[in-house]
């Protein structure tokens, strides 16, 4: 392939993490939704965020993409302090952070072909399919779709295929950071595993830096290097995924693992 997306990123360094969140508080009105959250992610690594519904996972993701403002604390993403950066720096930073959405049915425009959707991601000002055809074909192949499907519309695809298209759209611009929020939860269980394998493979070959959000611990384990456990808006445990799954320290982490047969098996054998 001739595109540049296969380029590996520089090795992780301690001085320049992709994400550096410190003492983050987020409130909606008088309700505190995140409290004292610290999150650090080196380049080339994936952190899984787990926690039950309402624990604040999506809110944390929205803080990282800049759509939710902190009440307190500091948020630095890809070298940009989101609290103090100027508008143009924020705009540039946001483009380098790609969110892969949860719902493959509502996230793709029904009036655009797959090629038009990807061309628009590549160049929102002048979205020309012909100019980017090689890149678009290459990405469709990489996500397991045939390049000759590029002129079809979303309704001609299954949910799993649409999620492959959404992944291609998120990754085609070679983002510095990928945020995947429950990207398999709207899919059939059998399809979930395929999408997960696809993402895990791409992650390894490209050295993606990713925040992977799921309430399913087995799913998180498949793609993450580290895990952060959120409980009622606070981080109750964090660390390398093997360590946390094999030897959870917090009762809430244990409860999540016990409630999740896939990862509980791991904790017995691992
Ligand atoms: N825009 C908002 N206004 C008010 N409250 C909100 C808003 N967004 C989220 N919340 C509240 O913040 C808390 C955390 O929500 P969030 O969506 O981050 O949870 P989550 O962990 O992603 O849950 P789920 O697993 O269901 O997606 C919840 O109590 C939610 O009701
Ligand atoms: Mg959520």
Output the pLDDT for position 91. Answer: 87
Which residues fall within 8 angstroms of residue 2, CB to CB, at 6 or more apart? 134, 135, 138
Q: Which residues contact 31 (CB under 8 A, 6 or more apart)?
A: none
pLDDT (tens digit, 0 to 9) for every residue of the chain, 270 residues total? 444 444 445 554 557 899 999 999 999 999 999 999 999 999 999 999 999 999 999 999 999 999 999 999 999 999 999 988 888 888 888 889 999 988 888 889 999 999 999 999 999 999 999 999 999 999 999 999 999 999 999 999 999 999 999 999 999 999 999 999 999 988 988 899 999 999 999 999 999 999 999 988 888 998 999 999 999 999 999 999 999 999 999 999 999 998 876 654 443 333
**Cα atoms in the Cβ-side hemisphere of radius 13 Å centred on 7:** 11
Residue entry with tokens 């298209």: 165
Tokens of 223: 């793609």
Partner residues linked to 228 by β-bridges: 49, 238
Rounded to whole angstroms, the Cα distance separating 140 from 164 reads: 8
- Check pocket membership of 181 for ligand 1, CB cut-off 6 A: no
What pLDDT is stored for residue 14 in this prediction? 59
Give the nearest ligand 1 atom to 31 CA.
5
Tell me if 68 CB under 6 Å of ligand 1. no
Contact indicator for 99, 176 with CB cutoff of 8 Å: no
So what's the pLDDT on residue 265?
42
What's the whole-model pTM score? 0.89
CB 228 within 8 A of CB 234: no
Please give the pLDDT value at position 87: 87
55 lines ligand 1 (CB under 6 A): yes
CA–CA distances in Å: residue 164 to residues 101, 154, 167: 11, 11, 5
Mutation test residue for ligand 1: of 48, 51, 56, 236, the one with most atoms within 8 Å of CB: 56
- Ligand positioned closest to the Cα atom of 52: 1
Q: Whose CA is nearest to atom 7 of ligand 1?
A: 28
Q: Is 66 in the pocket of ligand 1 (CB under 6 A)?
A: no
Yes or no: say if 81 and 55 are a contact pair by the CB < 8 Å rule.
Answer: no
Whole-number Å distance, alpha carbon 66 to ligand 2 midpoint, is 16
pLDDT at 49: 98
Q: Which two tokens stand for residue 33?
A: 């939704």
């Amino acid at each position: 392939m001739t595109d540049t997306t296969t380029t590996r990123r520089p090795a992780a360094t301690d001085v320049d993490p992709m994400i550096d969140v410190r003492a983050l508080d987020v409130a909606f009105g008088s309700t505190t939704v995140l409290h004292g959250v610290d999150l650090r992610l080196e380049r080339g690594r994936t952190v899984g965020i787990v926690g039950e519904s309402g624990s604040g996972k999506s809110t944390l993701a929205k803080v990282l993409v800049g759509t939710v403002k902190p009440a307190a604390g500091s948020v630095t993403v890809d070298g940009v302090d989101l609290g103090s950066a100027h508008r143009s720096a924020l705009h540039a930073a946001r483009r380098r952070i790609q969110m892969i959405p949860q719902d493959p049915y509502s996230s793709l425009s029904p009036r655009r072909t797959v090629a038009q959707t990807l061309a628009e991601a590549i160049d929102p000002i002048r979205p020309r399919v012909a100019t980017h055809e090689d890149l678009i074909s290459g990405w469709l192949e990489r996500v397991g779709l045939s390049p000759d499907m590029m002129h079809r519309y979303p309704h001609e695809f299954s949910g799993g295929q649409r999620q492959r298209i959404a992944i291609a759209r998120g990754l085609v611009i070679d983002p510095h950071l990928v945020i995947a929020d429950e990207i398999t939860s709207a899919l059939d269980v059998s399809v979930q595993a395929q999408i997960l394998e696809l993402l895990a493979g791409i992650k390894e070959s490209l050295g993606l830096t990713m925040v992977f959000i799921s309430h399913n611990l087995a799913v998180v384990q498949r793609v993450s290097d580290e895990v952060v456990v959120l409980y009622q808006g606070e981080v109750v445990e964090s660390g390398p995924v093997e360590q946390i799954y094999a030897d959870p320290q917090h009762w809430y982490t244990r409860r999540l693992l016990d409630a999740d047969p896939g990862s509980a098996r791991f904790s017995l054998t691992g």
